[in-house]
Amino acid sequence: MKFTQDSIYLKVKPELDMEFGKFGGMYVPDPFSPVLEDLAKKAIEIVQTTEFIENRKKVLNVLDISIPEITKVGDIKDAEVYKIQSPVFPLILSGYLALANILDRTPSFAASDENKLDMFVRSAEFLGLKVYVALDKRLSQKTALVEKLVKAGHTVDSKKCVELFDDPILYAFQYFISNINNALYVPVDANSGPYPFPSLTVEFTTGFKKVLEDIAAKQFDNKLSALLACAYPGTSAVAAYRFCDDCDTRLISVEPAFEFDRNDCYCGIFTKVVKVGEEERILCPELVYSWETGEVDRVFADDFTTALAAMEIKGKVLVVEGC
């Protein structure tokens, strides 16, 4: 089933004044604030227009993204386990690309995953947009990929992550801020950036909340014992948990054991960084906040099955796959 107009229409007016802190908003220098406030004002108007909704639907269609379906996994101890694939990435992507198209801005994207890069470029090209892409060190070394993007007329940065910080988010954001009137930062994998980006990212995921609300009511009769989601970076988890604001469902984030866990600054946001294997991973600040307030249980396990096997949960459990 395709996403309908209703499932991607933003009925709630975005709260575009999220501060540095739990939502991950970063501070920017004083001189940039008027430009960002203008962008926020325009975004509020645009996200509620038919043109915006049509643009999002086009992107979701070209990516062949449908409303995710529930499948039953089986029983683990006393839990009856179901799973659903998170649609958060395409939902956020479609939101930002629709916005970029209407604002006539160049989307600025950080790529460290080839599949996500492909989805981004295909969608942008479908809307007729030329993009800026910062590639991480690994993708930068894929000469054919770089050549293909350049040949298609896109601006590709394949040197910075090799020569400097291996951090495409840094360069995608830097491109945006250096072209603040003509570019649009697309923070898909980390809910980062200054006002109004964290709020927009959250708003673009509301389609998933609506899907889950519908599923909880129709398939589980609103009797869902627990909802499990992946902790890294936590954008999907936070989007999924939001549907449970007023319900008794236990919310659980699952992550493998890590080498260290430190408070740090990343993407200009104050959050936690964990090292898993050789990789440093950044956690969505809102997820960190929900651990601290006790709204979400933090569970360490290599996968959902192991997590459930180690826990005492009775009744229906929904696992959100994809981060």
Partner 1 sequence: MANRLDRRFAELRSNNEGALIPLSPGDKAPFATSMEIIDMFAEIGSDAVEIAVPTRFPWMEGKAMQTHQLEALEQGVSPADSFKLMEVARAKYPDLPLATINFMGPVLTYGQANYVSGCKRASMDAVDIPDYPFVSRDDPLYFGSELRNNNIHFVIDVTTNLAVAPEGTREYKLLCGLIQHSGGFLFMIAQAGGVSGTKDSLPVDTLKPAVERVKMLEGKFHINTPIIVVCGISTPEQVHNSIRLVGADGVMLGSAISKRLQAGESLEHIQPFAKSLKDATKV
- Using CB under 8 A, which of 170, 200, 284, 307 touches partner 1? 170
Among left, alpha and beta (phi > 0; psi -120 to 50; other), residue 96 is alpha
- Using CB under 8 A, which of 12, 265, 309, 310 touches partner 1? 265
Query: Which residues does residue 2 pair with via DSSP β-bridges, in sequence order?
Result: 66
Segment (H or E) for 100? helix 88-103
Label the pairing between strands 106-111 and 132-135.
parallel
In sequence order, which residues have a C-beta less than 8 Å from that of residue 85 and are 6 or more positions away? 68, 321, 322
Nearer to partner 1 by Cβ, of 173 and 241: the residue is 173
Q: Which range binds partner 1 by CB under 8 A, 27-35, 126-134, 215-223, 239-247?
A: 27-35
Find, among 147, 146, 176, 182, the residue nearest to 161 by Cα.
146
Residues touching partner 1: how many (CB under 8 A)? 31
Task: Quote the Cα angle for 193-194-200, to 5°.
Answer: 75
Segment (H or E) for 281? strand 279-282
Nearer to partner 1 by Cβ, of 208 and 270: the residue is 270
Label the pairing between strands 269-276 and 279-282.
antiparallel
Residue 34 binds partner 1, judged by CB under 8 A: yes
Find, among 305, 34, 7, the residue nearest to 194 by Cα.
34
Helices (H), 159-222: 160-163, 168-178, 197-204, 206-218
Residue 174 binds partner 1, judged by CB under 8 A: yes
Residue 155 binds partner 1, judged by CB under 8 A: no
- Using CB under 8 A, which of 9, 20, 289, 291 touches partner 1? 20
Residue 264 binds partner 1, judged by CB under 8 A: yes
Residue 185 binds partner 1, judged by CB under 8 A: no
Nearer to partner 1 by Cβ, of 35 and 310: the residue is 35
Query: What is the 8-class DSSP label of residue 316?
Result: E
- Using CB under 8 A, which of 26, 135, 200, 238 touches partner 1? 26
Smallest gap from Cβ 132 to partner 1, in A, equals 13
- Using CB under 8 A, which of 73, 103, 127, 177 touches partner 1? 177
Nearer to partner 1 by Cβ, of 163 and 245: the residue is 163
Q: Which residues 268-287 are close enough to bind partner 1 by CB under 8 A?
A: 268-270
Q: In 10 A of CB 82, how many CB atoms? A: 18
Nearer to partner 1 by Cβ, of 19 and 214: the residue is 19
Q: Which range binds partner 1 by CB under 8 A, 57-65, 74-82, 258-266, 290-298?
A: 258-266
- Using CB under 8 A, which of 1, 11, 30, 257 touches partner 1? 30
Residue 70 binds partner 1, judged by CB under 8 A: no
Query: Which residues does residue 317 pair with via DSSP β-bridges, in sequence order?
Result: 81, 226
Query: Which residues does residue 134 pair with via DSSP β-bridges, in sequence order?
Result: 110, 157
- Using CB under 8 A, which of 64, 263, 278, 294 touches partner 1? 263
Smallest gap from Cβ 168 to partner 1, in A, equals 12
Smallest gap from Cβ 265 to partner 1, in A, equals 3
CA distance 313 to 7: 31
Residue 28 binds partner 1, judged by CB under 8 A: yes
Separation in Å, CA 249 to CA 219, 242, 314: 15, 11, 11
Residues that bind partner 1 (CB under 8 A): 19-20, 26-31, 33-34, 37, 160, 163-165, 167, 170, 173-174, 177-180, 263-270
